[in-house]
Amino acid sequence: MKVTRRDLIAGAAGAVALARTAGAQTPADPTKVRGTPPRALGDRASTARVQRIVRGQVVSSTPLHDLMGIITPSDLHFERHHGGVPAIAPETYSLLIHGMVERPTIFTLADLKRFPSHSQIHFLECSGNLGRTAGPETTPGMLAGLTSTSEWTGVRLSTLLGEVGVRSGARWLLAEGADAAVLTRSVPIEKALDDALVAYGQNGEALRPEQGYPARLFLPGWEGNASVKWLRRLEVSDQPFMTREETSKYTEPFANGTSRQFSFRMDARSLITAPAFPNRLERGWVEITGIAWTGAGRITRVDISTDGGATWAAARLQEPVLPLAHTRFRHMWQWNGGEAVLMSRAVDETGYMQPTKAELLAQRGPGTATYHLNPITGWVVQPDGRVVYKEESWA
Least distance to a second copy, CB of residue 34, Å:
5
Q: Please identify which residue in 5, 6, 23, 31 interacts with a second copy, judged by CB under 8 A.
A: 31
Least distance to a second copy, CB of residue 55, Å:
8
Q: Which of residues 98-137 bind a second copy (CB under 8 A)?
A: 110, 113-119, 121
Asked if residue 266 lies in contact with residue 222, where contact means CB atoms within 8 angstroms, the answer is yes
Stretch of 62-70, 124-132, 304-312, 349-357 lying at the interface with a second copy (CB under 8 A): 62-70
Least distance to a second copy, CB of residue 76, Å:
7
The answer to whether 298 contacts a second copy (rule: CB under 8 A) is: no
**Rounded to the nearest 5 degrees, what angle is found at the Cα of 181, between the Cα atoms of 176 and 186?**
35
Q: Please identify which residue in 13, 17, 21, 84 interacts with a second copy, judged by CB under 8 A.
A: 84
- What is the Cα–Cα distance from 221 to 296, expressed in whole angstroms? 7
Nearer to a second copy, 31 or 168 (CB): 31
The answer to whether 297 contacts a second copy (rule: CB under 8 A) is: no
The answer to whether 249 contacts a second copy (rule: CB under 8 A) is: no
| Structure-derived torsion over alpha carbons of residues 362, 364, 370, 375, reported in degrees to the nearest 10 | -40
Q: Please identify which residue in 138, 147, 153, 243 interacts with a second copy, judged by CB under 8 A.
A: 153
Residue 195 DSSP class: T
Q: How far is CA 242 from the centre of its chain?
A: 25
The answer to whether 306 contacts a second copy (rule: CB under 8 A) is: no
Least distance to a second copy, CB of residue 260, Å:
29
**Rounded to the nearest 5 degrees, what angle is found at the Cα of 272, between the Cα atoms of 262 and 265?**
10
The answer to whether 344 contacts a second copy (rule: CB under 8 A) is: no
Q: Which residues pair with 270 in a beta bridge?
A: 292
Stretch of 161-169, 190-198, 246-254, 281-289 lying at the interface with a second copy (CB under 8 A): 281-289
Asked if residue 348 lies in contact with residue 386, where contact means CB atoms within 8 angstroms, the answer is no
At 205, which helix (H) or strand (E)?
strand 205-206
At 157, which helix (H) or strand (E)?
helix 157-164
